[in-house]
Amino acid sequence: MGLLEIRVFGDPVLRQAALEVRDFDGALARLAEDMALTMREAGGVGLAANQVGVLRRLFTFDDPGDDDHDPSAGAVVNPVLLDASEDSELVDEGCLSFPGLFYPVERQLEVVVRHQDLRGEEHETTLHGFGARIWLHEMDHLNGVLFIDHLARHDRREAMRIMRERDLDPRDVPGVAPAIGG
């Protein structure tokens, strides 16, 4: 088990679409384990494989608000969005690939997702509120879509400017990871 390097905005892998997982083997389970460890260590609640440089349709998540959360359910493979509510809400959101930045993002309140687990078994999961937000954010990553793509134009411009400036002066990165980062 080990920590993986989280790619930040500017890394082209974040703009690529991940490929379907076909092999449900030990390597996949180890990758998911390392991703979950990396996610928690960084203080995030979601992490997509693209963010550690692997173009596979896999993400890990942690929903702190979910009490009867099955600990083995923290990895989602080959997710497909089946349905989404018309109701949505605008809530501040962050991303581990944009450390320390938070902007309001409009997301649907309820979604239904078909997906597989690490053994390849199929599931259909309904998520509400914060859980739905995390899964939508991570599914976007698997399609090369980033949370800045959902922002109001001035927020998006500011986020990109801050990330570009950090690229020139990497010391200007907050040491504390976001609590709602994905």
Cβ atoms of residues 131 and 42 within 8 Å = no
Tokens standing for 43?
């203080």
Distance in Å, CB of 59 to Zn ion, minimum: 9
Provide the minimum distance between the beta carbon of 175 and Zn ion in the complex, in angstroms, as a whole number.
19
Regarding 182 and contact with Zn ion (CB under 5 A), the answer is: yes
Q: Which of 108, 77, 86, 105 is nearest to 180 (CA)?
A: 105
User: Shortest Cβ distance from residue 95 to Zn ion (Å)?
Assistant: 3
DSSP 19: B
Closer residue to Zn ion in complex, CB, 120/129: 129
Residues within window 58-97 making contact with Zn ion, judged by CB under 5 A = 95
Buried b (16+ CB within 10 A) or exposed e, 16-37: eebeebeeeeeebeebbbbbbb
Residue nearest to Zn ion (CB): 95
44 binds Zn ion (CB under 5 A): no
Nearer to Zn ion, 104 or 119 (CB): 104
In the complex, minimum distance from the CB of residue 122 to Zn ion, in angstroms, rounded to a whole number: 25
CA–CA gap between residue 53 and residue 172 (Å, rounded): 23
Shorter beta-carbon distance to Zn ion: residue 52 or 118: 52
Active site members: 138
Binding to Zn ion (CB under 5 A) within 94-153 occurs at 95
The footprint of Zn ion on this chain (CB under 5 A) covers a number of residues equal to: 2
DSSP label of 70: -
Residue whose tokens read 């793509």: 149
Helix (H) or strand (E) holding 26: helix 26-41
Closest CA to 133 of 72, 69, 87, 70: 87
Residue 36 or 95: the one with the smaller Cβ distance to Zn ion is: 95
Q: Which residues contribute to the site for Zn ion (CB under 5 A)? A: 95, 182
